[in-house]
A and B are shown apart, each in its own frame.
Chain A
Amino acid sequence: MSRRGFLGKSAAAAAGLAALAAAMSPLRHLKEGDLPSVEDFLQKHYKEMTAAQKARALERIRERVRARHRVEAVVTDPPPMDGVEYVYGLNISRCIGCRKCVHACVAENNQSRAPELQYIRVLEMEKGSIDVETANHHYTPPLVPRPDKWYMPVQCHQCANPPCVKVCPVEATWQEPDGITVIDYDWCIGCRYCEAACPYWARRFNFAEPLIPGDAINPKISYLSNRPREKGVMEKCTFCLHRTRVGRLPACLEVCPTGSRKFGNVLDPNSEVHYILKHKRVFVLKADVGTLPRFFYYFDERGSRYHDPIEPGPVHATGEGA
């Protein structure tokens, strides 16, 4: 190779490398912990971890919460209970659309405050319609409820035939024996296929690094539910499994001032939800998509035609006379 040729080629190669380095310069903004550590990289799928590996994973979550939020967390992994299948009922005769459930959920489940991320969306519906396309998502009256409106909160329906689980290419989301669909946040690759598949718009994606002020962190966290998430993964309502699997009620139910929310074990014949399903007028949202939700809506019958004395109509009279 000639001297000139060599110099020319070297210059071209140097310019190319410099251009590549310049193009990759935004990577200098990567913070410590943004890239997975070797241990993160090798961590197994939730279902494949041994007891020791799981304990270590919980420990690492605790360390991370301490490092990022300066909070001492209690990290648990409560298992599903035998003979339990959770269902959730929502009384649309009572709900006044105050959105207290939305905010209690955000606080309980360590959802990102900026960008704002919420699991529950309360729809303000027109009377005379159950069509969500006529719903108002962003109502802001000084007082609720508004006359001639009714309110329908929507959150994950924990479907028995969940399309989101079916589509996940890496099995990062699955249905637990107690009916709750969960996500392994450490396994999700962030393709958002589940978000496209959900007919209830119940899943949320962390488009940016979730931001939670340190004093707002709920330190009682669990692996499959409310531990702080990272950017680039999906999350969703888990019926507060860190509470409900140890005998407490979901945060959204506890805060509800009107008693519109009912939660319990549908397999227990003495449970409230069992009674409601048996005796009330119950419906599920979008029954036509065949997802078999474990979240249902119902209404009170007081004052409805079933309780008022019904005059035998003329049709009946004619029928009997004939």
Chain B
Amino acid sequence: MKRYLTFLWDCFRLSFVGDWRYHAWMTALTLVALGGVYAYCHQFVHGLAVSGMTDQVSWGMYIANFTYLVGLAAAAAMLVIPVYVYRNLHLHDVVIFGELLAVSVIVMCLLFVMVDLGRPDRFHHLLLRFNFPISMLTWDVIALNGYLLLNLHICGYLIYCAYCGREPSKKFYIPFVFIAIAWAISIHTVTAFLYVGLGGRPFWNSAIIAPRFLASAFAAGPAFIILTLQIVRHFTSHKVSNDALFTLRRIVQVALIINLFLLLCELFTEFYADTHHIASAQYLFLGLHGYNALVPWIWTAIAMNVAATTLFMLPLSRALKTLNIACVLAIVGIWIEKGMGLIVPAFIPSPLGEIVEYSPTLHETMICLGIWAFGLLVYTILVRVSVPVLAGQVTYAHHWSRPRQEPAAPVAAPVPENT
């Protein structure tokens, strides 16, 4: 017990140590996060009227970001599967960064759900009357929290073992790794079912949504990790081989192609049949009765996705510079596609045919940015702490009970990309 508390204390202290770039990055993130707190307090007092949401478009940026991030969290599985299922050991040393990402992203997901609630003070009602298994939202609560716990356990156990300087016992984490793989697929499927199960929203009521979710998540997630790993490699002593990056590149290649294929299937079904059910799709892609706020967004997203897919397929992307551009294109493209492109148009036109457009307000945007900043803050701390511990530079044997005893650690801060 004492050892575990010392571990936590060391982690806490480590998270404050770094060069000026680290401190600048952390201060910037903290300021943006505090901006989010400010905007949220405002929303708490005045209600969700400070957002751009209406009775017609009753879910907006919060749920859009939530949906995108669930995918990002699921992507950790894409690092784990090659290592533990296919014994592809290129990725072995970087698996933990994927899982840490999953932890911080799930925290962001839960925050996005919290800020979307009209009565956060009644959150405990979930524990008192839980409409399981009828409501898909209760499935999502279980899926997300379960995934958070699984990943916390796996990362926490591995890092703590390294801290204690002992070999992790396989039976304490390998079973959980395999459960987490299945669970990663499930969090995304369940989140898709949240929307798919609504018969009154033809735009969502389609079997293709869940597979498309997975395909786009398995493109955007590993793309995000490719960028993160390079940042970790640049700023810390942790070794990340190029082979690991290129294994991830292959995953993104396949996922992007499947994603585009599914998009094509969806567009064909909607527009060739040309039934009444396409009103939302028409609004999204072409505009409806002169309303077309989302049209530029979705075509930007499609252009980015096509460009990213092309780049990933070309041998050109074996050069890191091109690979990085392709990753950014895929991440942003899929963010728009899933946020603006999946959530908002399902509400336009309303079930009674009324067209009310949606655009996020300043407060809403500040809250979103704040949660992103907080998530990056958590991720930075997790990486900051785990790198020296895993490298054996900080252990219980020479922990920080006496200050300045630690040999000048060459461990600087990781500075994740601000996406």
A interface vs B, CB < 8 Å?
A: 1, 16, 19-20, 22-27, 29-30, 34-36, 41, 45, 115, 117, 121, 123, 131-135, 137, 154, 163, 166-172, 187-193, 195-201, 203-209, 231-233, 286, 289-291
Contacts and interface: CB of A to CB of B under 8 A. Distances in A.
Given A23-B38, A189-B118, A206-B118, A131 B137 contact: no
B37 A24 contact: yes
List 5 tightest A-B contacts by C-beta distance, closest first: A190-B118, A199-B200, A232-B118, A208-B49, A133-B353
Interface in B335-380: 346-347, 349-354
A144 B53 CA distance: 32
Contacts of A197: 198, 200-201
Given A193-B137, A207-B47, A23 B35 contact: yes
Contacts of B55: 117, 195, 201, 203-205, 207
Nearest to B351: A201
B135 A190 contact: no
A289 B120 CA distance: 32
Contacts of A117: 55
Contact of B125 (A133, A189, A205): A189
B123 A189 contact: yes
A164 to B, nearest CB: 9
Given A24-B37, A189-B118, A233-B119, A196 B201 contact: yes
Interface stretch (B126-134, B209-217, B242-250, B291-299): B126-134
B131 A135 contact: no
B59 A123 contact: no
Contact of A290 (B34, B44, B199, B350): B199
A171 B131 contact: yes
Interface in B204-253: none
Interface string B278-317: 0100000000000000000000000000000000000000
Contacts of A24: 37-38, 41
Given A25-B38, A34-B45, A133 B118 contact: no
Contacts of A204: 55
A123 B194 CA distance: 30
A196 B59 contact: yes
Given A22-B38, A166-B134, A168-B135, A192 B59 contact: yes
A200 B200 CA distance: 8
Interface string B147-187: 00000000000000000000000000000000000000000
Contact of B135 (A25, A167, A201): A167
A16 B16 CA distance: 13
B410 to A, nearest CB: 22
B127 to A, nearest CB: 9
Given A45-B129, A133-B279, A196-B58, A19 B34 contact: yes
Given A20-B34, A195-B58, A196-B58, A188 B119 contact: yes
Contacts of B30: 16, 19
Given A169-B135, A195-B55, A290-B199, A1 B403 contact: yes
B116 interface: yes
A169 B131 contact: yes
A169 B45 contact: no
Q: Which DSSP category, helix, strand, loop or mixed, fits chain A's interface? A: loop
A187 B129 contact: yes
Contacts of A199: 199-201, 351
Contacts of A123: 352-353
Contact of A169 (B35, B58, B138): B138
A257 B188 CA distance: 52
B401 interface: no
B73 interface: no
Interface string B105-130: 00000000100111111110110111
Nearest to B198: A197
Contact of B350 (A29, A35, A201): A201
Contact of A209 (B42, B47, B128, B200): B47
Given A27-B45, A197-B200, A208-B49, A170 B118 contact: no
B47 to A, nearest CB: 4
A115 B37 CA distance: 26
A104 to B, nearest CB: 20
26 contacts: A1-B403, A20-B37, A25-B38, A26-B38, A35-B121, A123-B352, A131-B276, A132-B353, A133-B279, A133-B349, A133-B353, A163-B200, A166-B134, A167-B135, A169-B137, A171-B129, A189-B118, A189-B119, A190-B119, A191-B117, A191-B137, A199-B200, A207-B49, A208-B48, A291-B199, A291-B200
Nearest to A195: B58
Contact of B141 (A166, A169, A286): A169
A291 B351 CA distance: 14
A20 B374 CA distance: 14
Contacts of B332: none
Contacts of A163: 198-200
A274 B287 CA distance: 45
A154 B352 contact: yes
Given A45-B125, A232-B117, A291-B199, 8 more contacts: A26-B44, A163-B198, A168-B135, A169-B126, A172-B129, A191-B118, A196-B58, A207-B48
B136 interface: yes
Contacts of A191: 113, 116-118, 137
Interface in B53-75: 53-56, 58-59
A139 to B, nearest CB: 12
B46 interface: yes
Given A26-B42, A133-B276, A133-B279, A193 B118 contact: no
